[in-house]
Each structure stands twice: as C-alpha cells, then as structure tokens.
C-alpha cells in the first residue's frame, strides 16, 4: 500500500498533505505579493496548514502567527518552523491578544460554512485599516469532481442528501457583499479559472478525493470505496486527464480588503 491509500476515515494526514499537496502553497506566492508584508508588521496566516506560506511571510521580517484548526497540521508546522508561533484554533473564534496589521489566508476560507462568522472574527482581530488578503475556491470550484462524485454515488444507490457538502464556493459579488457587511472595504477582487496539476499525487484524482473529499467516502460502504474511487476517476477522465497528467478544476476568488 502506498501512503495515499484510503486509511479508514481520518480527515487529514499532515505528512501526506505536505508531500503531495505542496502545490497549494506554491500557488500562494502571488497572494503574498498582494499582501505586501512590511518589516515589523504583525500578521496572521489563517488556515496555515503545515506553515509553508507562514514561513515565506516571515522572510519579510515581520511577526507572523500561523493559525489552523487541525492539531496535526499545527504540530508539523511547529516541527518544521520552530522559530514561528503557531496555534490551533478555528477561524470562527481564534483570538490574538493585540490586533494585527493584516490577516492572510490561502486555500482555506472555503472550508468554513459560517463565512459571516469568520469575517467578523477576522475583523475583531485586525487593527482599524488592517488588511484582509485572501484566496479561496470560487463559484463552480471542482465542479467536474463533485459532479462525478455525486454520479458515482447515485450509481451505488446512495442518496446525495447523505453527503454533508463540505465547502463554500461563493460567487465574487456575494463574497464582496459579505466582506462589506463585515466592515471591510474591498479594494480588489478577482475570479479566475486555474486548472491545477496534481503531479505529486501518484494516483492523481483518487489521491485528491481521499485527501479532501472524505465526506463523500464516508457515505459509501467500506467494501465499495475502491470501486467508487475508480468510477469517479473514470467519470472525470475526459475533462481532467490531459497528456498523462491529472488536473483539479479549480476556480479562484482572490481579494484585497481593508477594515474601515
């Protein structure tokens, strides 16, 4: 069995995430440019995962704190970057003792189904005029993968209502309105399509599903998971497999906002 074979129902494997999904932070470099960290500033990296981007932000001589709700991710981040402060907390209720200059978040905000609460909590932890710079899955993100997952479920006679849909992929204008209601002025917002190669995943789209789409796997009888994964892969192949490479059909919503 390789490291990415289905392992019971564990939600996250920080080591596998680090090894096979490093592309997530590689794409974050442009977002750091948008953040434009200044020496001496205090910042939060919300949903920091194993801390690669937190460490990049730190190179700007600022004081950055990594926050993530997953204890395994935080544990690995602390091990990899012992000179950076990391702590485990949810986006909806993390709390930094003194307000910070900026909150940065890459490929994380779509994991909270309480976006209003997250935005309000970020505002609470920012200084007035503080920046909130983020990128997340946008409208129709991973639509080919999710359509295939639902179709493969239907073929196994599993009702789609059994799946707790784990993500929030908003339209740009809707997310802008949430930010404004949360007290932010939105200076920049972009929506774009970004097919994302899964080159470090030996089993391509199956590995992506086992890492991120566990809510779908949970509702499949255990003895049919492997068949389910093969069928989902087949259903994705036409659109997401090109020249020997698997791609995830990501769309991105990127924004730069300031607390009024």
Helix, strand, or coil (residue 89): coil
Spatial distance between the Cα atoms of 117 and 185, rounded to a whole number of angstroms:
17
Element (H, E) at 249: strand 245-259
Choose among 231, 230, 34, 14: nearest CA to 131.
34
Q: Is 191 in the site for ligand BEZ (CB under 6 A)?
A: no
Residues 208 to 237 in contact with ligand BEZ, rule: CB under 6 A: 212
> Rg of the chain's alpha carbons, rounded to an integer?
19
Q: Which is nearer to ligand BEZ, 216 or 250 (CB)?
A: 250
Name residue 35's beta-bridge partners.
Answer: none
Q: Is 250 in the site for ligand BEZ (CB under 6 A)?
A: yes
Nearest residue to ligand BEZ by CB is: 137
Least Å distance between CB 106 and ligand BEZ? 9
Residues 7 to 46 in contact with ligand BEZ, rule: CB under 6 A: none
Q: Is 132 in the site for ligand BEZ (CB under 6 A)?
A: no
Judged by CB under 6 A, the stretch of 10-18, 32-40, 137-145, 233-241 that binds ligand BEZ is: 137-145
Q: Which is nearer to ligand BEZ, 29 or 38 (CB)?
A: 29
Q: Which is nearer to ligand BEZ, 212 or 255 (CB)?
A: 212
Q: What is the DSSP letter of 94?
A: -
Q: Checking phi first, is residue 243 left (phi over 0); if not, alpha (psi -120 to 50) or beta? A: left
Burial tier of 180 (Cβ tally within 10 Å: 0-12, 13-18, 19+): middle
Q: Is 107 in the site for ligand BEZ (CB under 6 A)?
A: yes
The DSSP annotation for 96-137 comes to -SS-EEEEEEES-GGG-S-HHHHHHHHHHHEEEEEEEEEEEE
Q: Is 104 in the site for ligand BEZ (CB under 6 A)?
A: no
Q: Which is nearer to ligand BEZ, 37 or 137 (CB)?
A: 137
Spatial distance between the Cα atoms of 163 and 155, rounded to a whole number of angstroms:
15
Site string for ligand BEZ, 150-189 (x = CB under 6 A): -----------------x----------------------
Judged by CB under 6 A, the stretch of 60-68, 95-103, 118-126, 136-144 that binds ligand BEZ is: 136-144
Least Å distance between CB 146 and ligand BEZ? 9
- Catalog residues that contact ligand BEZ under the rule CB under 6 A: 107, 110, 137, 141-142, 167, 212, 250
């Amino acid at each position: 069995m390789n490291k990415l074979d289905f392992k019971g129902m564990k939600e996250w494997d920080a080591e596998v995430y680090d090894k096979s999904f490093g592309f997530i932070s590689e794409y974050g470099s442009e977002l750091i440019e948008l953040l434009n960290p200044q020496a001496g500033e205090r910042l939060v990296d919300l949903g920091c995962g194993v801390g690669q981007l937190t460490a990049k932000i730190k190179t700007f001589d600022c004081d950055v704190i990594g926050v993530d709700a997953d204890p395994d991710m935080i544990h690995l981040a602390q091990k990899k970057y012992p000179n950076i402060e990391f702590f485990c907390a949810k986006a909806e209720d993390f709390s930094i003792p003194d307000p910070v200059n900026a909150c940065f978040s890459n490929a994380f905000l779509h994991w909270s189904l309480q976006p209003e609460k997250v935005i309000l909590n970020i505002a609470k932890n920012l200084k007035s005029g503080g920046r909130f710079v983020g990128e997340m899955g946008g409208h129709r993100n991973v639509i080919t993968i999710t359509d295939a997952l639902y179709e493969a479920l239907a073929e196994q006679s599993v009702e789609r209502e059994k799946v707790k849909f784990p993500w929030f992929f908003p339209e740009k204008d809707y997310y802008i309105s949430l930010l404004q209601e949360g007290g932010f002025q939105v200076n920049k917002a972009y929506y774009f399509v970004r097919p994302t190669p899964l080159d470090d995943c030996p089993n391509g789209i199956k590995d992506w599903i086992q890492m991120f789409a566990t809510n779908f796997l949970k509702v499949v009888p255990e003895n049919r998971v492997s068949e389910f994964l093969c069928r989902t892969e087949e259903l994705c192949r036409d659109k997401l497999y090109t020249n020997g490479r698997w791609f995830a059909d990501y769309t991105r919503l990127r924004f730069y906002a300031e607390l009024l």
